[in-house]
Amino acid sequence: MRFLRIVLILIAAVAGGVLAWDLFDGEERRARHMRGSSLFTGDGDPAALARRAVEDRLRISPEHRAFFASYRQAFAAEYERMAAGFAQRAAETGRLDPAERYLAEGMRTLRKSHGLLAAKAESGRLAALFDAQHTLIDALGRADPQLCVDFLFGHATQRFYDFAARNRVLVARLAQTNIDAIIDGRDRQIERAAPTPEDFTTLERALRANGLGQPEIETLLDGKAAEPPLPDAGLCRAGRVYLETLRELPEDMRMRIYGLAVEVLARS
């Protein structure tokens, strides 16, 4: 049904890329390990060396450092379990994973355990999450429209992974806005009503007013493949217009849709 399809596309835009890297096949995983750094260059307890190396990798950039510091402060026990798991894997393989994989796994763990809280955040925090998503999609579209389309529909590829490594600020900003919304939602506990069918009718009309035609709307909202297929640049633009249109909706309507999107994502 169209109501559900709209929500799922929005969720794909939130979950794409960062949260989907676990879908890489075995060959890609092995290639990432081969690019990792050797841990054991000196004497000492392997487990302690692995943990220290992992913690250093989690602080590889100011943005990564901020995200994991927020995680540790807000959910100390969960952070400890996660970091210990990273260290155990590193000790067993003798390799560190790229910082982006640790970020992806941190985001996924956070989403599964506390993602529902983001729906209860104040409007500014919730909007910031989707603004960060729009910024990342815009950058992907400029770099490679095919990557943008992959990201919109939640597909992860090695090329996207390489893009993320070159654009750590953008990806880590998305992670930070997620945890900021979760922490704020935990503290504020704002209850929002579910969006109505009329909300989504208004959204579809606004998409048309903002220049999307029937093929783009049916692709985005119904998952119907256009004939002929839409070019990647056109579909990427449609995804960007979709998020921009959401930002133009009245705040109460927009927050109902945002809230539902993060709730369904947390339960997925």
pLDDT tens for each residue of 221-266: 766 777 888 898 988 898 889 889 999 999 999 999 999 888 887 8
Distance in angstroms (rounded) separating the CA atoms of residues 89 and 53? 12
Task: Please choose, from the candidates 157, 196, 146, 132, the residue with its C-alpha nearest in 3D space to the C-alpha of residue 3.
Answer: 196
Domain count, the chain: 1
Confidence bin at 205 (pLDDT 50/70/90) = very high
Q: How many CB atoms lie within 10 A of CB 27?
A: 9
pLDDT of 267 > 50? The answer is yes
Residue pair 100/21 in contact by the 8 Å Cβ criterion: yes
Look-up of token digits 């208004």: 202
Token pair recorded at residue 38 = 């050797």
Q: What is the pLDDT of residue 104?
A: 82
Residues 6 or more apart whose Cβ sits within 8 Å of residue 264? 7, 8, 11
Residues 6 or more apart whose Cβ sits within 8 Å of residue 224? 218
Task: Please choose, from the candidates 170, 182, 226, 212, the residue with its C-alpha nearest in 3D space to the C-alpha of residue 75.
Answer: 182
Residue pair 248/162 in contact by the 8 Å Cβ criterion: no
Residue pair 13/79 in contact by the 8 Å Cβ criterion: no
Tell me the whole-structure pTM to 2 decimals: 0.83
Distance in angstroms (rounded) separating the CA atoms of residues 264 and 116? 8
List the domain range (segments joined by +) for residue 174.
2-267
Q: What SS3 state is found at 164?
A: helix
Q: What is the pLDDT of residue 214?
A: 87
Question: What residues does 38 pair with on adjacent strands?
Answer: 95
User: Within a 13 Å sphere around the CA of 221, how many CA atoms are in the beta-carbon half?
Assistant: 20
Query: Which region holds residue 154: left if phi is over 0, alpha if psi is between -120 and 50, else beta?
Result: left
143 or 41, which is more confident: 143
Confidence bin at 3 (pLDDT 50/70/90) = low
| pLDDT tens digits, one per residue of 75-128 | 999 999 999 999 999 988 888 988 888 988 898 899 889 999 999 999 999 999
Say how far residue 211 (Cα) sits from the centre of its chain.
Answer: 27
Total residue count of the chain as it appears in this document: 268
